[in-house]
Amino acid sequence: MKSLMKYAAAAAAGAIAATSIAYAQAASPPRAIISIYHAAPGHQQALLEWLAQQDRIATAAGIPASQIYAHTDGDSWDYLMIAPVTTEAQDQAADAAAAKMGLPSGPKVGLELRKHLQSHTDTYVVGPMTAAQMLDRLK
């Protein structure tokens, strides 16, 4: 768990550096989804290939690629991913891009993902923000 916190903190620090200016101009902080994946035994590479495919679809749809972190020590997860929360229009653009590439879209995407997973969790967050920005939201 300690390592997970280190990775999450490192991810947040990098994201803060990349988006602090954008937050200052936005009315509300950006939202993201953090996913923690436990690959099915023997599926680590297949899972990475699937995630890379999803990044290609996102890029084709004009959605930023996800940030991925690989487990090296500590808890039992394999990969931690931070991705933007998408809008309905972005979801439709991603489905169209996947269809154009001849890849699954819609509910079939989740079925394909689960072939490579032992388990996963998703957590929705706001940020990245500095502590001062978070305190400003309390006012």
Query: 26 lies in which domain range?
Result: 2-137
Residue 12: pLDDT band (50, 70, 90) is very low
pLDDT of residue 3: 53
| pLDDT of 4 above 60 | no
Total domains in the fold of the chain: 1
Q: What percent of the chain has pLDDT over 90?
A: 66
Indicate the pTM of the whole model.
0.75
Here the CATH number for the domain that contains residue 55 is: 3.30.70.100
Angstrom distance (rounded) from CA 85 to CA 6: 23
The 10s digit of each residue's pLDDT in 99-119 is 999 999 888 999 999 999 999
Angstrom distance (rounded) from CA 93 to CA 58: 8
CB 97 within 8 A of CB 57: yes
